[in-house]
């Protein structure tokens, strides 16, 4: 099916490591991209492709994939990392031209 | 520095057509693919579709019957049209640039700030 599934909410203690996951059949064919969205702001790309960070993005963020599951890992989580995180990838159904988003994961930093 | 800026009415009556424009500055739209993405209040992101500079398009199957996206290279902007609107179309609408990684992976590297469109009488 053309869906990406994310856990709605995750919490992490300040300074600890957290993993946010994303599941879907399309991830067997394409890498996930990850976006951070803070309240009232547009999403910002944090990871794209196999495990690439845009210029200027903190190296606390990393990505990985296994089978149909992609993960975003944040190491040494900071207070400013509290946000909603969305996974996204190319849709493997039909002509492979569309794009999918996960439902988002709200990260709370304790 | 490349910037995207959405513009258009913030209020649309039910059954009417929602029309938005995204002005691109700092880069030509004659490269890349240009997308619309929306986010209902308190909910997640939904990809709407894209247009290329030569006018090729592809839309989310759930919206295909009501959506049209076009590009105007002379003005360096692209536009969204969504017909037969209903309350469920109320959302923040973002325009975004799609780029390719290694010819296989697609991702959105630049986003506009978004514009809220409310569908209500």
Residue-wise pLDDT for B80-103, tens only, equals 999 999 999 999 999 999 999 888
Distance CA A89, CA A29 (A): 9
Residue A95, chain B, CB below 8 Å: the answer is yes
CB contacts, 8 Å: A52 with chain B = 101
Which pLDDT score is estimated for A96? 83
Residue-wise pLDDT for A3-25, tens only, equals 999 999 999 999 999 999 999 99
Which pLDDT score is estimated for A107? 98
Residue B40, chain A, CB below 8 Å: the answer is no
Which pLDDT score is estimated for B54? 86
Sorted by sequence, the CB contacts under 8 Å of residue B97 that are 6+ apart come out as B2, B4, B24, B27, B32, B33, B34, B35, B108, B109, B110, B111
Question: Using CA atoms in the order B24, B6, B61, B15, what is the torsion angle rounded to 10 degrees?
Answer: -140
Distance CA A39, CA B46 (A): 17
- Answer whether residue B53 shows pLDDT above 90: no
Which pLDDT score is estimated for B40? 98
As a whole number, mean pLDDT of residues B35-53 equals 96
Which pLDDT score is estimated for A67? 96
Strand B77-82 versus strand B18-25 pairing type? antiparallel
Is A43 in contact with B106 (Cβ distance < 8 A)? no
CB contacts, 8 Å: B111 with chain A = 42-44
CB contacts, 8 Å: B113 with chain A = 41-42
Residue-wise pLDDT for B9-25, tens only, equals 999 999 999 999 999 99
Distance CA B106, CA A70 (A): 15
CB contacts, 8 Å: B46 with chain A = 101
Which pLDDT score is estimated for B47? 98
* Residue ranges for chain A with pLDDT beneath 70: 1
Q: What percent of chain B has pLDDT over 90?
A: 93
Residue A98, chain B, CB below 8 Å: the answer is yes
Cα–Cα nearest to A16, from A64, A79, A59 = A79
Residue A90, chain B, CB below 8 Å: the answer is yes
Which residue from B44, B104, B111 is facing A42, i.e. has the nearest CB? B111
Which pLDDT score is estimated for A1? 58
Residue B57, chain A, CB below 8 Å: the answer is no
Residue B54, chain A, CB below 8 Å: the answer is no
Distance CA A105, CA A107 (A): 6
């Amino acid at each position: 099916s053309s869906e990406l599934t994310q856990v709605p909410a995750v919490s992490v203690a300040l300074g600890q490591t957290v993993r946010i996951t994303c599941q879907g059949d399309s991830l067997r064919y394409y890498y996930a991209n990850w976006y951070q969205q803070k309240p009232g702001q547009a999403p910002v790309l944090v990871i794209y492709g196999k495990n690439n960070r845009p210029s200027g993005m903190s190296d606390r963020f990393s990505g990985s994939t296994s089978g149909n599951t992609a993960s975003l890992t944040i190491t040494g989580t900071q207070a400013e990392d509290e946000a909603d995180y969305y996974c996204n990838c190319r849709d493997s159904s039909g002509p492979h031209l569309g794009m999918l988003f996960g439902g988002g994961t709200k990260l709370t930093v304790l | 520095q490349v910037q995207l800026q959405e513009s258009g009415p913030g209020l649309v009556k039910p059954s009417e057509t929602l029309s938005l424009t995204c002005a691109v500055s700092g880069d030509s739209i004659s490269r890349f693919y240009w997308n619309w993405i929306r986010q209902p209040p308190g909910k997640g992101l939904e990809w709407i579709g894209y247009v290329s500079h030569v006018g090729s398009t592809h839309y989310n199957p759930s919206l295909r019957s009501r959506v049209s996206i076009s590009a105007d290279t002379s003005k360096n902007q692209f536009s969204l049209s969504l017909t037969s609107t209903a309350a469920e179309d109320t959302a923040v609408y973002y325009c975004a640039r799609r780029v390719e990684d290694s010819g296989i992976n697609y991702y959105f590297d630049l986003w506009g700030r978004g514009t809220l469109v409310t569908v209500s009488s």
